[in-house]
Amino acid sequence: MKSLVAYYSRTNTTKKLAESIANSVNADIEEVKPKVNYQGKIGFARGGKDALQAKIVDLEDLKYDPADYDVVYLGAPVWAGKAANPLISYIKQNEGKFSNVKFFITAGGEGFDGALKQLEEATTKPQKTLSLTTKEVKKDLFEDKLNSFVE
């Protein structure tokens, strides 16, 4: 089965999880890079505001077409109770190209349900979901959950 892991990560937490998933399923990996700067304290505030407004942002050029894959793993951090808008922008840019998806999200502690609902509304019902806290990812406390997610 041909798999793609597409993700956005502001602090490298979601990136770490994305790389673990890609390694587990031998998938291609696509880092979604917005043209908007979300780094630092100002970027953090901008990200929360943009997420609440569901703002679609321009992205850097993408390497892979999700329509070429049997399953696409979509990952993002939670921003203000929603999926980070660079990933939502990626989904909108590739509308109609997702048939089998799995969602993975990271958060400091809450907001998982709102982010998952938003991702499902933007794409399709996922085969599986994985929600991990920043602590679980940073301390590598997710192997069992990861194994269940990718099987």
Q: Which CATH number do you get for residue 42?
A: 3.40.50.360
Report whether pLDDT(109) > 90: no
What range defines the domain where residue 68 resides?
Answer: 3-150
| Residues facing 131 on adjacent strands | 105
Handedness of CA 10, 13, 17, 20 (dihedral sign): positive
Report whether pLDDT(24) > 90: yes
Q: What is the pLDDT of residues 61-104, one digit of tens each?
A: 999 999 999 999 999 999 999 999 999 999 999 999 998 999 99
pTM above 0.85?
Answer: yes
State how many domains the chain has. 1
pLDDT value, residue 111: 82
- Cβ neighbours of residue 53 closer than 8 Å, sequence gap 6 or more: none
pLDDT value, residue 4: 98
